[in-house]
Every structure is written in C-alpha cells, then in structure tokens.
Structure 1
Amino acid sequence: MSHTPRTRTVLSCSLLVVALCVGGTACGETDDHPLSAKPYDAARQIVFSGPSGNQKADPDKPLEVTSKGGEGRITDVTATDAVGRYVAGELSADGTRWHTTVPLAAAAHYTLRVSAEDKEGAPGNKVITFDTGTPKEKNTLEVGFGPDEGTYGVGQPVIAELSEPVKDKASRRIVERGLKVESKPVVEGSWYWVDDQTLHYRPKEYWPADAKVTARSNLKGIKIADRLWGDETKPLNLTIGDRIVAVTDAAAHVMTVYRNGEEINEIPVTTGKPGYETRNGVKVILGKEYFVRMRGTSIGIASGSSDSYDLPVYWATRVTWSGEYVHAAPWSVGSQGAANVSHGCTGMSTGNAAWFFETVKEGDLVQVINSNGEDMDAFGNGYGDWNLDWGDWEEGSSILGKPSERRPPAAQIARLRPQV
C-alpha cells in the first residue's frame, strides 16, 4: 500500500509527457531548428574579406570574417594551412568580427572553419578555402642547422645559422617560434641569440643519454620582416650517445673520466703553466685530430723566444677554436700528475691520450676546475654554452628573455660544479 501513491505519481508524469509531445511540437525540438539536425549553412550570415574564385590573397594583408548585422554572431574561427600550421586570430567580444593577428604564409593553401549561431541560438558553420600569392619583391631567409647528422655527446648544442641578419625584436620572435627542436625523451630547452645570424639551442640540463633530437623549421612562406620571407629548410636528426664527462682538476693534476655517472678512468695530467693557465669551465669537444703540428706562433709566442715551440702532436682532441686540446705529451710525462708545464693544453701520456681519443666523441664534455686561468667564454671560442646558468640562458631568447644585467663570467663559473 505504501507504494501506491508513488506509482500514481509516475503514471501521471508519463501521461503529461505524452500529452506535451502530442501537442504539435516534438519533444526537444522547434519547428525551425530541430536539435537533431545538422548545423545550418551560415554562408548568408558570414562576410569574408579574402579573395573569390581563382584570385589569390595578399599574404601581407590581414584577413577578416564578419557577421551581418542582426543575423546572429560568430562563435569560433580556426584557420590552418596545408601543413597544419594554425593562424593566430582574434574574435571580438560581441562575435561580429574575427581577424588575423599574424601574417599569412606566401604561396600557401588555407582553410577557414567558421562556427556561428543565428538569433535563436541554432548552430551554423561555413568552410572557406583560398590560396595566397607570392610577393613580387622579396628576399628569403634560409636556415642551416648544425652539426652534421650523427651521434654526439650530451653537451652538443643545436646550431641555427641564418642567411640574413635579423635584428628587430618582433622579427626575432617570429624566427624563434618557427624553429622547433624536439627530443625523445622530452626535455626543457630554449634558443639563445648569439648574434644577428646565429642561434644556439640547448636543454636546461645536459641531453639525456640515448636521446633522439630533431630540429626543423616551420618558416617556409612566413613573413619575417619587410620583404623577408622564410624559405624551406632541411630538418636535422641527431642521436645522443652515452654521457661522457671528463673533469680536469688543474690543482690536483688529474683528469677523472665518467660514463653515465660511473668513473671509468683517472689519468695523471699536466695543464697550463703560469702565464698560460688552462681556462676554467665547461667545454664541448669540437673534434678529434690524430696528428696536429703545434706552433707557439699560433698563440702569439714569437719564434726564437724561450717559450717558442714547434711540435708534432698525436691523439689530439680539440676543445676550443683557439687551439686548446687534450693530447699526447710524451715530453712532459715526468710532470704529469705533479706539475703544470704546458702552454694551456691538457697533456698526458701517449697511451692515455689514445684511450681518451678513442673513448670520447664530439659533444662530450671536458670541465676544468681549480685552474688560475681565465674563464671559458660562453661563445666565440668553441661551445661554452654550459657556462651560462639556465636563467642567463633564457635571457638570450627573444621569447623568454627579459632585459637585465648579465652576471659576470666569474660569478657564473663560481656557481658551476662538476656534473658527471
């Protein structure tokens, strides 16, 4: 008996629903726009400022989509080119106008998808396609990625060389947004503008061992500056090998070599003597040369002076463009592990130099500590990128950077500790 009133209530509601549905209007629908229907064609509601027929849009001019007064409003617009690049735009608060906020690419095919609603709130859509033309007067910006494809150490930066200088801040932001570096596993990283035509990319920490790194450009057809447009660029693929870090303690006269955090060798060495002290800091291995003829004149020592030298050198691993190497120095074996007698290079026995030469690769790291020498330059004499901490590195980005005084190199080096 206690359930009877509830049963009557349910039946009454059911009859009420049936009555409403029978009364001329289907449940959940209106005569004009059934909810189950597809969005209506909003062509009569939408006005497009772009070309019609076979005409091509001027990539220099912004595009605009508007809704006719009193016909409803625009709710969303997406614009993409044939390779999937999105075009940034802005929709007015009242939904009557959308316009592009960045230049279009030249010689590209675009698709605009416009979503709208009429005065009753029913959804509509419109798809618009068009092509852009090529500016009559233009220069192209080519990008060359480096190094060559291959396997490198965890300290190797990605280099982007531009064919034209880019000085304007807004143009730099366009370039930087178009240059993409991706890695597996994913790591945090950023570009740094070394000068108007050179950018370096490095992660916050060293690359993970065995990572796969790809650099590519999305600048093709993109306007960068007045009469300057991006050109097609060949992508770059790199493989990162084991994490090899060699830490040279100039005061203790010893180099300790680590692979993936494990010590694999300890080598007695000699570094730069007074007046020729080896540079402190982190250096990226630039290359390996089995034989090099080293002359004092190459570093400013006059021929015939007491410091002059002219020597055949074997198993030479280069760490700066100015001629600092890790190499075999059989003439100084008696001082290795005990005193610093070189002109700035790190010398070791022939056997140890051959082992080091065969163990390391480009992109591996040599870090010198406890030397009385100058600090390694961040740029200009090899790849000293790692001598900037992450905050300083971000300031070199046109997107992330904030104007501030840079800390002096000595302060940067003082904060560094061996990372093995």
Structure 2
Amino acid sequence: MSYSPRSRTVMSCSLLVASVAAGATACSGGPDGHPLSAKPYDAASQITFNGTAGTAKANPEKPLEIIARSKDGRITDVTAADAAGRYVAGELSADGAWWHSIAPLAAGARYTVKVSTEDEDGAPGLRMLTFETAPAKRGLKVSFGPEPGKYGVGQPVTAKLNAPVKGAAARAVVERGLKVSSSPAVEGSWHWVDSKTLHFRPKDFWPANASVKVRSNLDGIKVANKLYGAPAKPLEISIGDRIEAITDAGSHQMTVKRNGKVINTIPVTTGKPGFSTRNGVKVVLGKEYFVRMRGTSIGIPAGSADSYDLPVYYATRVTLSGEYVHAAPWSVGSQGAANVSHGCTGMSTSNAEWFYDTVRQGDIVRVVNSEGETMAPFGNGFGDWNLPWNKWRRGSALMAGTSDGRSPVDAARLRPEV
C-alpha cells in the first residue's frame, strides 16, 4: 500500500515486531534524472524503531513504533505482517514523523516490517526490519468436533475451549479466528452455548453430500488480557444424503425421507401421558445394538406400576438423557394406534433394524404433535435446530453480541427412556 504526500493515515491489517535486516541500496537517480525514478535509498539512518535486536524476543503487549529521525525526511508508508500473512493495523501521523501499531501483535510470531520514506527532495527510501515476539504464557486451545467422518445434514460443528472467554470483544476475536467453509457454500453462524463451548450450524441444514472444513487462525492472536490463541488441529467432515425421520405422535406413524423422497412409513408408539416424547428436531447422536433400560434410571421406583427392566435392541440415541428410537416388541399391538412408552419411539424389531441400518450420526429425527415440550436447544444433545435463525444469530458475538458471564449449560445425565 502506498500513499501520496497528502495521505498521512496508514491502515495495515494484523500483527508485528522487529530486528534490523538488510535494507535496500541507494541510487542517484533514474534514466530521466528525476528523484522519484531513482531506486530507493537505504533509510536505516532516517528512522528508529522500538523493536528488538539479536535473539531477544519482543513483548507482544507493546505497540510497535517507527519514528523519523530528522525533519529532512518523513515516513510515507509502513506495512507489517507476520509469517502467516496477517497484517498489523497502524496509524501514520499527518507530518510523516511517526507511525505506531493500533492492533495487538501475535505472540510467538516472526514479523517483517517495510518502512518507506522520502527525503526533503522527494527521493524515496526503504528499510526492511524483522523481529520476533515472545511466546504466550497462557494459550487458548480449541478442539473441534465431531470426529472426522461422514455425518447427516443436521450435525452441528462444535468448538471446545480450554479456558472461559467472557465479554463481547474477546468472544468476537475468537469467532473471527474460527473458520468454517463448505462446498456447496452455506450461510451459517457460531453460537456461544457457554463461555467454553461454541456450536456452528447453517441457517438451514447442510446440503446433502457437502464437504465441510473447520480451522482456527487464532494461533498467537491476543484474545484477552495475557491470553493468546494456541495452535489447533483442523477438522474435515463429509455430509451424506439428507435422511429425515418425521414422527407424528398424533397419528402414531414415522415417515422416513431420503433427499425429500419418502422411503418408508413405520407404525410407532411414543411417550404416554406423563412421559410424553419431546417435540422438535433432534439429531442422531449414535447407535447401540443393545441397551439395558431400567426405569430407575429416570426416577421410577423399582416395583412401581411404571417400573421396567428391559433388554433393548437396535437403539438409535437422539438425546443425552436417554431418548431412543428402538425395537419394542412388547408394544407391537399399540404401534400405529396408541402411545404407551416412557418417552422413546418404539417400533417392531424388523423396522427398528431397518431404521438402525439406514440412519447415521447427524441425521434428523423430528417429532410433531406430541403432548411433550419442545427439546431444549442445548444440554441434552443437539437441539440446535429448535432455535429460529434470528435467535441463533443473537448467540454470536459478531452478529448481536452476548451477555457476559452466561452460565454454562449443565450436561444431562445419560438415562434411557423407553
């Protein structure tokens, strides 16, 4: 970026530090003899800077300053960038006598600074400076989820932090550094679940057969007081067909679609009064061929009328608290006609086996027309899709900000509900 003599404010874009490196050589003038056609002279004697020399590491908390030594010359431009290509924002005084950074430097980074000058005759000068910043003493680590693999269109991306981040400004820094891209491209946003957890989801579900890449650019970036981003392992996942199971608790039928086309209709039973199945969109969390389900795990006293202790097969989990879609051979007579379960969606063994073999983690299970409440967005699996898009965006520090000190969501207990 270059500036005319009338332009005195420089805005670079990222981070910096320095130790003097080799500069350019001076030259008398170009073929036409005009000073501006000359190769830049070495401006080492024309400027001073507050960087470090030798093997010393600069303090990333300290701004970088470049000062013109004499009134016979001035600074015309400064650019500073680290080895990752991240530029440092800065300001140049109107008289060209002083430039300073206005954005924090990265910790543990190597910077290159290019200083352009001109003398009283307008001849251009140039000086290149390099330096390194000291590594951070506190690193903010990010772990992305889920594990690499293929998932359904409802699978959110998660980011777990090793330290709490509070305050809209610090959270905005984190969000800017967490990059999610997909092919095909989608509109999406991060949402702060609590001070150490973020979820990313598109406005709508992921496109079928999409590829998703997640990475962090926070390494070395200042997040909060003496807290800097640490390196993070990137994540790549793929998305399969759009599989969506719609359970109508009123008609006692489940309709399963693949890419919008109905592929099966299954008679089911859902939660009876007092144990009504939650409405809303749920995401398949995993599959278990065999689960031992006991009523005591959800607070039903042993020996009571509602007590149970059953071997359950082809169990597809949709909540952390133990809601499944599973085989329920004991209730086949009620399937398609009445709701008699303790919250799970029951079906015949053959239908449960088909469902178990058809769906994968991240697929959508939507319950409608139940007497139960709507599944909470967080704390019991992935109810993320039960937040309307405008409310989801309010959980982003970049979109609408979040309140400080939001209480973490308590993890639900792993309880089977049959």
Q: TM-score range by the shorter chain?
A: 0.7 to 0.9
Greater Cα shift, 143-152 or 224-233: 224-233
Cα distance, 1:122 vs. partner?
5.4
CA distance in 2, matches of 1:389, 1:119: 62
For the 8 Å contact 2:113–2:128, the answer to whether it is kept is yes
Cα distance, 1:92 vs. partner?
4.4
Cα distance, 1:296 vs. partner?
1.0
- Per the alignment, residue 201 of structure 1 pairs with 200
Cα distance, 1:325 vs. partner?
0.5
Cα distance, 1:45 vs. partner?
4.0
Matches within 5 A, 1:112-123: 112-118=113-119, 123=124
Cα distance, 1:93 vs. partner?
5.2
Call closer, same or farther: CA 1:209–1:71 in 2, change over 3 Å. Answer: farther
Cα distance, 1:95 vs. partner?
4.7
Cα distance, 1:76 vs. partner?
3.9
2:111 maps to a residue whose letter is Y
Call closer, same or farther: CA 1:52–1:352 in 2, change over 3 Å. Answer: same
CA distance in 2, matches of 1:315, 1:285: 13
Cα distance, 1:56 vs. partner?
2.2
Larger RCO of the pair (alpha carbons < 8 Å, separation 6+) = 2
- Per the alignment, residue 232 of structure 2 pairs with 233
1:201 maps to a residue whose letter is F
- Per the alignment, residue 102 of structure 1 pairs with 103
- Per the alignment, residue 134 of structure 1 pairs with 135
Matches within 5 A, 1:209-358: 209-358=208-357
Q: How many residues align?
A: 374
Call closer, same or farther: CA 1:118–1:282 in 2, change over 3 Å. Answer: farther
Residue 398 of structure 2 corresponds to residue 396 of structure 1: no
Greater Cα shift, 313-322 or 210-219: 210-219
1:271 maps to a residue whose letter is T
Residue 59 of structure 2 corresponds to residue 58 of structure 1: yes
CA distance in 2, matches of 1:121, 1:148: 59
Identical residues among aligned pairs (%): 66
CA distance in 2, matches of 1:119, 1:319: 74
Question: Secondary structure of the residue that 2:35 maps to in structure 1?
Answer: coil
Provide, for residues 316-363 of structure 1, a one-character-per-residue CA deviation record: whole Å limited to 9, x for no partner: 000000010011111111111111111111111111111111111111
Call closer, same or farther: CA 1:348–1:133 in 2, change over 3 Å. Answer: same
- Per the alignment, residue 143 of structure 1 pairs with 142
TM-score (norm 2): 0.83
1:107 maps to a residue whose letter is G
CA distance in 1, matches of 2:370, 2:110: 59
For the 8 Å contact 2:396–2:402, the answer to whether it is kept is no
Superposition RMSD in Å? 2.2
- Per the alignment, residue 84 of structure 1 pairs with 85
Question: Secondary structure of the residue that 2:176 maps to in structure 1?
Answer: helix
For the 8 Å contact 2:278–2:372, the answer to whether it is kept is yes
Provide, for residues 102-136 of structure 1, a one-character-per-residue CA deviation record: whole Å limited to 9, x for no partner: 3222221111233445556555443221111235x
CA distance in 2, matches of 1:113, 1:188: 37
2:101 maps to a residue whose letter is T
Provide, for residues 249-287 of structure 1, a one-character-per-residue CA deviation record: whole Å limited to 9, x for no partner: 111111111111221111111111111111111111100
Cα distance, 1:59 vs. partner?
0.9
Question: Secondary structure of the residue that 1:144 maps to in structure 2?
Answer: strand
Matches within 5 A, 1:135-174: 138-174=137-173
Call closer, same or farther: CA 1:54–1:337 in 2, change over 3 Å. Answer: same
Call closer, same or farther: CA 1:140–1:402 in 2, change over 3 Å. Answer: closer
CA distance in 2, matches of 1:62, 1:34: 32
Cα distance, 1:227 vs. partner?
3.3
CA distance in 1, matches of 2:388, 2:201: 11
Greater Cα shift, 277-286 or 254-263: 254-263
Cα distance, 1:192 vs. partner?
1.0
Q: Which runs of 5+ in 1 are unaligned?
A: 1-27, 405-420
Residue 175 of structure 2 corresponds to residue 176 of structure 1: yes
CA distance in 1, matches of 2:376, 2:217: 31
1:152 maps to a residue whose letter is Y
CA distance in 1, matches of 2:315, 2:78: 60
Question: Secondary structure of the residue that 1:177 maps to in structure 2?
Answer: helix
1:33 aligns with one of 24, 32, 35 = 35
CA distance in 2, matches of 1:76, 1:205: 45
Answer with 1 or 2: which has the greater Rg.
Answer: 1
Q: Which runs of 5+ in 2 are unaligned?
A: 1-29, 404-418
Greater Cα shift, 96-105 or 381-390: 96-105
CA distance in 2, matches of 1:384, 1:94: 58
2:270 maps to a residue whose letter is T
Call closer, same or farther: CA 1:242–1:69 in 2, change over 3 Å. Answer: farther
Provide, for residues 3-31 of structure 1, a one-character-per-residue CA deviation record: whole Å limited to 9, x for no partner: xxxxxxxxxxxxxxxxxxxxxxxxx9863
Cα distance, 1:395 vs. partner?
1.1
Provide, for residues 232-253 of structure 1, a one-character-per-residue CA deviation record: whole Å limited to 9, x for no partner: 2211111111111111111111
